[in-house]
Structure 1
């Protein structure tokens, strides 16, 4: 025992030295980092030495996670944000100025669409939507002040496949920044930089983290001239990623490829089973021959149909309620990419802000559902859906 009590225990204790190292990544929740001198802080901020000063500007757990996703996307210098929408916000506000115009696919994540329609106009930025499956429609909608094009490769929730090749050519021709949200397809299913993207966005919350316990976003740029203003905007607005969420997402990322492949195989089998199930009006899955963009999906995605399936039943809201109640073990939740299967009803979740007519024009009725397929036993999953559909439709 020590005979002399310490003067204080408030001062920080140095990390214990060790001849071994941890296999798991350490979690470092520190908000601030101490430098040895003002000169050392200058060296860090001016790029002559690595380091951190304040967690809003960056921290080790975010960098570890970003480098992992960089490796999957074939990128360098990716940035991690507090959510997928924080990533979208940083891109939009970092790169756009009053008087600019954004052109986007007309089937995006609901909050992305609300940003385009409600938030961008507040900044003096115009936004228009066009059918992403038709590059000619995009060509007609481009304006002299179009600065940025935003696409999802596979749309949410109708799983239409964008004409990425044609729209990338348009972006090059008109000098537009092509931003691709790769959340649905993931780098396992599609490599945007190899198809002309300038910027790639992810909601890491979804398939990459994979366990519905971390909320994060990611952005990678092919040009540092784009990265710098995006980073500056994120730091200024405080779009900070939590070290703990980064640590959780990194842990989830180690099983990403295994989870994705299993969920994709399950989704393919579920889509085929639903197509043969009485009471189902239609099924959407990119690699099925009856998908409206099947040929384009084969060209862009190959055999990688992903883990998302959408289907439609008749009977309106009453049948939709009955289906959900008849499947109590399938989480009814407005999310995707969890290790377990989740069921979403776009009319009351992701696309509730649209009018019924606008949803109908996009192919979303009250009986339209989106399934984020997980890694469960696929025969069990098929049985649960068939029983729920029978209960809802009387088929």
Structure 2
């Protein structure tokens, strides 16, 4: 008759190896943040778990409700934006969703800039109305247009610090004053300018949003978003919504983005310098109909941009070539070393064509009204040598002209 003592040692050792033991203790600490992919976290007792859920003790339970890598990343961005308690989501649109779903209800009304990221526009025009939330688009460079769009049901105004893709700069000071006076929340998507150029909450916004995927992370290998509010009640509502809807960020992506943040200021400064040089190069090329760069004196919002963003023009440049879609195809084909990709904020320069990517859902008439023709391009300038970028685009523009 065999008993437990007769179990071979190898079998017992294998079983013991499956036990979830504590991570090795150490009197020293890791210099680099560790990746913590665990979905669940063990608590000592039911009472200890109660303490965590009820705020008497700090701890993690289930990664959908938060995990160490997301918190480490959020705290870094909190410091940059001058706020506490921001949350990281699985994408920039996840952050937008947490805001809309957490703060709005049926019968509420939103006023938004008429030049936003394409998916933000689609959420405003297609998704929110299904839930009984109406939206009106208005020109954010004119605060009176925003005010004229307000109704008694308006709960929130949403603008981008620099519009995508025409790089217009809203009248942020006047809109912040308008929102305060009318008792309406102001949300600012600060992705393009980042906290290095503009801190939206300090300037009167109630909510700030980032697509961390872009400049903050900076390497096109992590998809994440961030949202924070000055009011803790608003923050709790958005966080609860993010948890309930499963807008969870990947621990690995959070780890990548935190690593990217360590070089963020260096990358951003260099990219801005390159963008200013590239904008001037493009403006001198035959076949370029116009160049849009907030740092140039011919930009329609140049003075406002310089005042708001501390004299920085940013890393984004848009330009338009003559010849429509055929010219656009020739331009892209002639620049094989510039990734043609619907993204921005990478360490390397990328080229985007909004009519075929971010704003393809808009009608041709609507795009034209926004100034987005078939020859319109947006360049996310990276940290390469500026002379190299100028030469690559000079050849591409020449090819576009045939």
Aligned length: 394
- 1:310-344 CA distance string (max 9 Å, x none): 00000010000000000000000000001100000
User: In the TM superposition, what is the alpha-carbon distance from 1:277 to its structure 2 partner?
Assistant: 1.1
User: In the TM superposition, what is the alpha-carbon distance from 1:5 to its structure 2 partner?
Assistant: 3.8
Three-state SS of the structure 1 residue aligned to 2:16 is: coil
Match of 1:364 among 360, 372, 391: 372
Q: TM-score, length-normalised on structure 2?
A: 0.96
- 1:368-388 CA distance string (max 9 Å, x none): 000000000110110000011
User: In the TM superposition, what is the alpha-carbon distance from 1:2 to its structure 2 partner?
Assistant: 10
Three-state SS of the structure 1 residue aligned to 2:201 is: helix
User: In the TM superposition, what is the alpha-carbon distance from 1:77 to its structure 2 partner?
Assistant: 0.7
Q: TM-score, length-normalised on structure 1?
A: 0.98
Within 5 Å, which residues of 2 pair with 1:186-335?
186-335=194-343
Could you tell me which runs of 5 or more consecutive residues in structure 1 were left unpaired when the two chains were aligned: none
Cα distance in 2, alignment partners of residues 312 and 3 from structure 1 = 70
User: In the TM superposition, what is the alpha-carbon distance from 1:6 to its structure 2 partner?
Assistant: 5.7
Cα distance in 1, alignment partners of residues 123 and 255 from structure 2 = 29
User: Are residues 166 and 36 of structure 1, via their aligned partners in 2, closer, same or farther at CA, if it must alter by over 3 Å?
Assistant: same
Residue equivalent to 1:85: 93
Could you tell me which runs of 5 or more consecutive residues in structure 2 were left unpaired when the two chains were aligned: 1-8
Residue equivalent to 1:48: 56
User: In the TM superposition, what is the alpha-carbon distance from 1:4 to its structure 2 partner?
Assistant: 7.9
User: Are residues 17 and 389 of structure 1, via their aligned partners in 2, closer, same or farther at CA, if it must alter by over 3 Å?
Assistant: same
User: Are residues 276 and 192 of structure 1, via their aligned partners in 2, closer, same or farther at CA, if it must alter by over 3 Å?
Assistant: same
Cα distance in 2, alignment partners of residues 21 and 298 from structure 1 = 43
Match of 1:346 among 329, 347, 354: 354
Cα distance in 2, alignment partners of residues 3 and 96 from structure 1 = 57
- 1:151-210 CA distance string (max 9 Å, x none): 101100000000001111110111111000000111111110121100000000000000
Runs of 4+ in 1 over 3 A off after TM superposition: 1-7
Three-state SS of the structure 1 residue aligned to 2:365 is: helix
Q: Does 1:114 align with 2:138?
A: no
Match of 1:378 among 380, 383, 386: 386
Match of 1:15 among 11, 18, 23: 23
